[in-house]
Structure 1
């Protein structure tokens, strides 16, 4: 089976012992169709492939080079292959993206039935204006991610406290002439190490813990019961999306979780609860078709892999040309 991974001109040059830079210049100007590409003049600002517009689409942002953000609209039906890329616009300003999408006729845009997106207000404005007949679906994984990030934020705060306590005890030891010996738990961790090494287990359900992680979690929750409560809250939010198929029931279960988050007294979870309240209509739309933004995230990962294969992006326009050849 042929290897279809992209290869840089430099790699080809190294392999065949020729000047890779010269080979790249020859490819750009003579061997490829780049110089006659109909979108070359404006590619760095925007690209549009309206023939790829489908009924179910995703909208997301991605970093192309040096943190430069682009808004990307993709067709879910293409499953990340040829025909997936609908539009790519530099920046995330809703006005700029809307101007590009308005080049597609209103009749075609009105045929879009569903748009999945994250919780960014700019993305929602783009979707509402450009695809007025479509149902907007907030990606469930972005909602869950907020909860897991809140748990990690608590863990990091406790770790800073442990580091500060250790520093104080070291200073006290120097003043009293006594050597500081940190407390070592039965699994071999110090308190500071316990908090640092618990990062990954807090992203996973208990059923997926290894025996080592299970013991570490027991020691962690024994000392920090609030962290256990926050971890359980994050898991419960995930279960709402995973186990609920009816929209009405989803509304009830999200309301119950909202109530628990408010009563828990954790500031970060109260913030998440208010975010859910602000986006509850589009979050509830998930239960209609159980649609997510996974295809957009996958597409972003492919762009990053493509960029990595060429060791970064030196010529944005030509990079976008090659990207469009594969995905548009």
Structure 2
């Protein structure tokens, strides 16, 4: 039976000596096959066992039963330097009551769950799950900021309608989350970025940002060689929001109409018109195309703004040269001066960063998927008592080197 259990256990260098079946769990007594260990001080091998120290630790299930390993972490006496030392065991960390592979299983479950339910699934405590997460983050962290060449900086609200904002940092070439900052202040973001080191920051070539937080000064200070690119999708949102606000204003204006029949007719046309106005024409079905025609016929300002919105999108789709794209955008701004007045003011202030897109084509498009993942983690965040734990929980989805 012991050879079979040794094969099932599959821990290199370890053998099952005996076992006990305790109903709901198995206890396996295991020992190392080797009779020596290497001194961590001088590198010499020692065959002299000084003391035996038996421990009990949790491991992966066998036949749907919880498994506990009783193992001997022997203490050797080095004859060269005369110092005692405990042997290093590949399958478990020092002073840990769980094997590395069991911790990996638990943390992988944590990627799609919350601490409390993951703990319940594995018959362990919430605190032990947190301990495993912290342990593996130190042991198997693969984050290497020296690889970052294009960085995305974005703000997200973790709770809809609330000012619970965090700043996310994304490696745009690998679509990986590389940092989460609790505050939107320059001080907090600077602290996170500076932790990567000056050499890393100076090699970053492009930084994509939205238009809500003015991080230009901070980027110029910390990443002097980086080109700042305003994220195209945030720029488009600026135009879409202006068009939608105009649509809402038209609906409010209709409330003052005296002719009830005409009011109802126009209200019916504007009903459920948001998608029709904001989406590109190739995504509209036949019924929506008909509604768009009615909107243009009955609301000329909205019709004009719709055409200008589409022209704006075409500029960013079709121009790949900075000079040509910049002139096309300036012509558009002149044409839309009355209809998109506030938006044009913002475009003027961000003109250099917005037009940088024409040649770099850099966007934070990947950030959207990451942001949705973070919001899900927040909703599943039961069991995380502070921001550091939440941040760690987010980063394991991309930066933990486990199979």
Normalising by the residue count of structure 1, what TM-score does the alignment of the two structures yield?
A: 0.77
1:94 to 186, 207, 211: 186
Pairing 1:299–2:370 present: yes
The answer to whether the 8 A contact 1:76-1:295 is kept is yes
The match for 1:105 is 197
Q: 1:219-272 deviations in whole A, cap 9, x for unaligned?
A: 22221111000111111111000011111110110111011012xx22xx1221
Q: Distance in 1 between matches of 2:371 and 2:389?
A: 18
Q: Distance in 2 between matches of 1:76 and 1:274?
A: 28
Q: Distance in 2 between matches of 1:113 and 1:280?
A: 19
Q: 1:179-220 deviations in whole A, cap 9, x for unaligned?
A: xx7459xxxx74324323111011122233211112212222
The match for 2:126 is 24
Alpha-carbon distance, 1:37 to partner: 6.5
The match for 1:43 is none
Alpha-carbon distance, 1:36 to partner: 9.2
Q: Distance in 2 between matches of 1:309 and 1:242?
A: 38
Task: Name the CA shift for 1:137/1:8 in 2 (closer, same or farther; >3 Å).
Answer: same
Alpha-carbon distance, 1:313 to partner: 6.3
The match for 2:113 is 7
Pairing 1:51–2:145 present: yes
The match for 2:333 is 258
Q: Say which SS state the counterpart of residue 60 (structure 1) adopts.
A: strand
Pairing 1:132–2:224 present: yes
Pairing 1:287–2:358 present: yes
Q: Which has the higher strand share?
A: 2
The match for 2:344 is 273
Q: Distance in 1 between matches of 2:133 and 2:290?
A: 60
Q: How does 1:82-231 map to 2 (within 5 A)?
A: 84-85=177-178, 87-165=179-257, 182-183=261-262, 190-231=265-306
Alpha-carbon distance, 1:57 to partner: 1.0
The answer to whether the 8 A contact 1:68-1:91 is kept is no
Q: Distance in 2 between matches of 1:99 and 1:261?
A: 41
Task: Name the CA shift for 1:275/1:283 in 2 (closer, same or farther; >3 Å).
Answer: same
Task: Name the CA shift for 1:10/1:190 in 2 (closer, same or farther; >3 Å).
Answer: farther
Alpha-carbon distance, 1:305 to partner: 2.4
Q: 1:37-68 deviations in whole A, cap 9, x for unaligned?
A: 77xxxxxxxxxx66365111111112345632
Q: Say which SS state the counterpart of residue 197 (structure 1) adopts.
A: coil
The match for 1:308 is 379
Q: Distance in 1 between matches of 2:372 and 2:383?
A: 14
RMSD: 3.0
Higher relative contact order at CA 8 Å, sep ≥6: structure 1 or structure 2? Answer: 1
The answer to whether the 8 A contact 2:137-2:396 is kept is no
Q: Which moved more, 1:67-76 or 1:197-206?
A: 67-76
Alpha-carbon distance, 1:295 to partner: 2.1
Normalising by the residue count of structure 2, what TM-score does the alignment of the two structures yield?
A: 0.63
Q: Which moved more, 1:301-310 or 1:220-229?
A: 301-310
The answer to whether the 8 A contact 2:381-2:390 is kept is no
Q: Distance in 1 between matches of 2:226 and 2:302?
A: 40
Gaps of at least 5 residues in structure 2 are: 1-104
Alpha-carbon distance, 1:24 to partner: 2.6
Q: Distance in 1 between matches of 2:349 and 2:226?
A: 19
Alpha-carbon distance, 1:133 to partner: 0.6
Gaps of at least 5 residues in structure 1 are: 39-48, 170-180
Larger-Rg structure: 2
Pairing 1:78–2:174 present: yes
The answer to whether the 8 A contact 2:116-2:382 is kept is no
Q: Say which SS state the counterpart of residue 73 (structure 1) adopts.
A: strand
